[in-house]
Chains A and B, each alone.
Chain A
């Protein structure tokens, strides 16, 4: 069955430090992968996506992610975190099942940023 695992429930970093959020997926075919960000009480905003091609993808707000097929991973990175990056981050995989397409989400990683 398709699934997404985000091993870190909470992460705290200092402002200006680098960030890596982990995501592992289970999917039989070539995955379509996404990272979303959610501020409290809001909907989700797409940060970046991977469909094919270059395994390093750039997104909005200075984020990037690298697809590693051998590790079934799609980790999100940012070289220097800003206080406004504090939010919850979700990794998702696009799955095709029973003739329907759907997104499967990880449990999320809540990021706190210390000044």
Chain B
């Protein structure tokens, strides 16, 4: 099936740990995005990437890092510098400019 796969669906992190969220797509889309969703705040853009080996900070990049070594993959690392990482994280892709975004099913990260 064509689509976007995010894993894991649920993730628990201890204080001071780095964790990596996976996002894989087989839609052959160029652009990939990471959003953070908190209740009442909608979706806020963390990082985005238009091509392999290039990415840009979004509105709330502090405490996060990404890589784009392959077109299909755009992993997000939540570092210990992110002080409030508990949230729902969504990965998305777009094909050509301004076409619709396709979303994964999300990863819920909880700090324990």
On whether the beta carbons of A90 and B43 are closer than 8 Å, the reply is yes
On whether the beta carbons of B48 and A100 are closer than 8 Å, the reply is yes
Q: Is the interface of B mostly helix, strand, loop or mixed?
A: strand
Chain B residues contacting A42 (CB-CB under 8 Å) are 105-106
Give min CB distance, B13 to chain A, whole Å.
Answer: 19
Number of interface residues of A (CB under 8 A): 27
Which one, B14-22, B70-78, B91-99, is touching chain A? B91-99
On whether the beta carbons of B97 and A103 are closer than 8 Å, the reply is no
On whether the beta carbons of B105 and A90 are closer than 8 Å, the reply is no
Give min CB distance, A57 to chain B, whole Å.
Answer: 12
Contact of A100 among B4, B44, B56 (CB under 8 A): B56
Q: Is the interface of A mostly helix, strand, loop or mixed?
A: strand
- In Å, the complex CA distance between A27 and B28 comes to 29
Classify chain B's interface size: 20 to 34
The verdict on B31 contacting chain A, using a C-beta distance below 8 Å, is: yes
18 more CB-based (< 8 A) A-B contacts, given A41-B108, A102-B48: A32-B98, A34-B100, A34-B101, A36-B103, A43-B4, A43-B106, A44-B43, A44-B101, A44-B103, A49-B100, A90-B42, A90-B43, A92-B101, A100-B50, A100-B56, A101-B50, A102-B45, A104-B45
Interface of B toward A, CB cutoff 8 Å: 4, 31, 33, 35, 40-45, 48, 50, 56, 58, 88, 90, 92, 94, 97-98, 100-106, 108
